[in-house]
A and B are shown apart, each in its own frame.
Chain A
């Protein structure tokens, strides 16, 4: 952890980090774009999940719903990663010393990987469907709920970065 802290301090002292820190509107602007992209990613994944659950756009095939929302979700994730990276560059100590940040990164990696695999499985396989119908299996439905919960956790942890010690107490890396 000492190495991570030293790296964060070095990054914070860099000229790129200083530029982000010194211009007052850069961080709020990046955070606002980040939040807008959360809206696009979360709602896109929610639409896909609701289709699997049979609660939305049941008149359309899963493939059509996936093709409607997945490109938005992936594009917004890329913008989110870009603004997220700049935010980390601007405040590396704040981010790297927050337990919420590291759990968020882990869940984010899990979310992106499982969404890609899940989309691929549901598109290609009749395996995920109840035989001979557009209805999805209980496993596919459970996975869609799990993914929405995963994205919810990512958003909560993102906001919790600002309150690491209050949220995690003795577990906080700030302590």
Chain B
């Protein structure tokens, strides 16, 4: 893919679009957890309708991201912004898991027209911060990764044209 100049912009565009969709859809859930714009729409309904789209977009972003990583694995692996992005992604995953396993259990008590408990608000705010960080760090990779021009070992280059 690294050598196919046509593939790179397409895969990158798909990755950006899918990542933006993940952020946009999860942002709606996070806002609801903060009680915004109001508490009239049930948390369970918002989660059900948005998270389908989030997971779909996440899967697309993951596939495109894996292709980008495979094309430049060595450069990405050594890049600090990339490592921090993976850490932020992991953090977002842990935050979601904790929310679903602990806070979401008694959602019936605050599902609709009721104040959102502090634990859910914290989960929503944490999710927002982590996903914004993921996007910022991801864009930062492009400005810091440089290019790997090293010739792989055992490659024979014929300089006699």
Contact = CB atoms under 8 A, between A and B. Distances in A.
A166 B6 contact: yes
Interface residues of B, number: 27
Interface string A24-45: 1001110110011011101110
Interface string B42-85: 00000001000100000000000000000000000000000000
A56 interface: yes
Interface of B, secondary structure class, is helix
Interface string B10-32: 00110011011111110110000
Interface of B: 5-6, 8-9, 12-13, 16-17, 19-25, 27-28, 37, 49, 53, 132, 135-136, 139-140, 142-143
Q: How large is the interface on A (under 10, 10 to 19, 20 to 34, 35 or more residues)?
A: 20 to 34
A95 to B, nearest CB: 16
Interface stretch (A12-20, A127-135, A137-145, A155-163): A155-163
Contacts of A56: 49
Contacts of A68: 37
B24 A44 contact: yes
B139 A28 contact: yes
Interface string A97-130: 0000000000000000000000000000000000
Interface of A, secondary structure class, is helix
A46 B139 CA distance: 24
Interface of A: 24, 27-29, 31-32, 35-36, 38-40, 42-44, 46-47, 56-57, 68, 152, 155-156, 158-160, 162-163, 166-167
